[in-house]
Amino acid sequence: MADAKVIPFDDDRSRGSRGAGSRRRGGPAESAPVGGGPVGDVQPLPVRGAAAQGPAPGPDESPAPRSAVGDGDGGDQDGGLERRLAAGLSFLRRRLTGDYEVDDFGYDAELTDQVLMSLLRPVYEKYFRVEVKGVENIPAEGGALIVANHSGTLPLDGLMMQVAVHDHHPADRHLRLLAADLVFVLPVVNELARKLGHTLACAEDAERLLAQGELVGVMPEGFKGIGKPFGERYKLQRFGRGGFVSTALRQGAPIVPCSIVGAEEIYPMIGNSKTLARLLGFPYFPLTPTFPWLGPLGAVPLPTKWTIQFGEPIPTDGYAPEAAEDPVLMFNLTDQVREQIQHTLYKLLVQRRSVFF
């Protein structure tokens, strides 16, 4: 594998190839590279449907008694099972015939809602037992930039944050994450990331999504945060040169700080094999108390208890358009966001009873 490079989020230069997915209907969805020329307008994302769900029972309706179910005439449970089977077969038919849509970035709303989130949800609810706070601070509509700390050796924190927004936001919003180049050169991972709505961590893609009114998630620490030693846990690394602030200012989008506690301990990184990292083209090769000593079993994360807290949004729509080029303002806002996340991390750590409970 060729050495993976990280394109800094605060680099506003034009990119030669972004690899955004093309919007297709009536044929299989696939990712195709976009050339250096102008990119077409982003089409609105498909609305998350609830067709597979049956009508909600009215206030006067009550479930059928157990004795009435399965007595030959088909009860409510049989009808519900039939509806679920019919919905599942309809979903499979659409996937096999290509009768579904993806947006310009490769985001597949139907696959995400009905399959990928269903696979992530047990990890979120049962394994990490994530507690979500402050989700009401995320705007109900319009573009917004969610900025979070990054940790855990593997980027599971971004996925759990995505489930938190998807399942708990009252407006049923979906979070589009910005990811490093490495994600999009790994087989299988590349396709799954595109289907989940991830795109490259560059200013151009972030601005397009914000202009479309999407929630965009970014973790400015990058590999410095996710690959830091266990002894430096919950100590935020540098947030770069403020590229995410510049993007938010250009679009007038609010910045929502997000603090994640629990991810630091899932893979306690006690060492880094730089030789193996160079051979494999990775930014680091982690050594933990269980990996690689226990083989594949050592790759199982520890079942820590997580808390994800979304802070109060920091508005940016009150600044003039040229404010995005003011380095002093960008530094101050970047420092404000970073300090708010760090302060919340310390507060959550003090309140935490145990790493696992």
Walk along the chain (357 residues) and give the pLDDT tens digit of each residue: 444 444 344 444 334 434 334 444 444 333 333 333 343 344 444 444 444 444 444 444 434 433 333 444 445 566 788 888 888 888 888 888 888 899 999 999 999 999 999 999 999 999 999 999 999 999 999 999 999 999 999 999 999 999 999 999 999 999 999 999 999 999 999 999 999 999 999 999 999 999 999 999 999 999 999 999 999 999 999 997 788 999 999 999 999 999 999 999 999 999 999 999 999 999 999 999 999 999 999 999 999 999 999 999 999 999 988 899 999 999 999 999 999 999 999 999 999 999 999
Q: Supply 340's token pair.
A: 């708010």
The answer to whether 130 and 307 have CB atoms below 8 angstroms apart is yes
* Residue 201: predicted pLDDT: 92
Residue with tokens 């994800």: 308
- Residues 261-276 as b/e (b if ≥16 CB within 10 A, e otherwise) read bbbbbbbbbeebeeee
**DSSP assignment letter at 138:** S
How many CA atoms are closer than 13 Å to the CA of 223, on its beta-carbon side?
16
The answer to whether 13 and 34 have CB atoms below 8 angstroms apart is no
The answer to whether 268 and 230 have CB atoms below 8 angstroms apart is yes
In three-state form (DSSP H/G/I as H, E/B as E, the rest C), the secondary structure along 47-62 is CCCCCCCCCCCCCCCC
Query: What is the rounded CA–CA span in Å between residue 230 and residue 269?
Result: 5
Contacts of residue 285, defined as CB under 8 A and 6 or more positions apart, other chains included, come to: 272, 273, 274, 276, 277
* CB < 8 Å & 24+ apart, contacts of 67-73: none
Report the candidate in 191, 144, 60, 149 with the shortest Cα–Cα distance to residue 344.
Answer: 149
- Determine whether 356 is exposed, middle or buried from the number of CB atoms within 10 Å of its CB (0-12, 13-18, 19+): exposed
Specify the DSSP element, H or E, that contains 199: strand 199-200
* Residue 88: predicted pLDDT: 85
Query: What is the rounded CA–CA span in Å between residue 148 and residue 221?
Result: 9
* Residue 70: predicted pLDDT: 41
Give pTM, 2 decimals.
Answer: 0.77
Query: What is the rounded CA–CA span in Å between residue 291 and residue 293?
Result: 5
* Residue 33: predicted pLDDT: 37
* Residue 171: predicted pLDDT: 94
* Residue 37: predicted pLDDT: 38
Specify the DSSP element, H or E, that contains 147: strand 144-148
* Residue 87: predicted pLDDT: 85
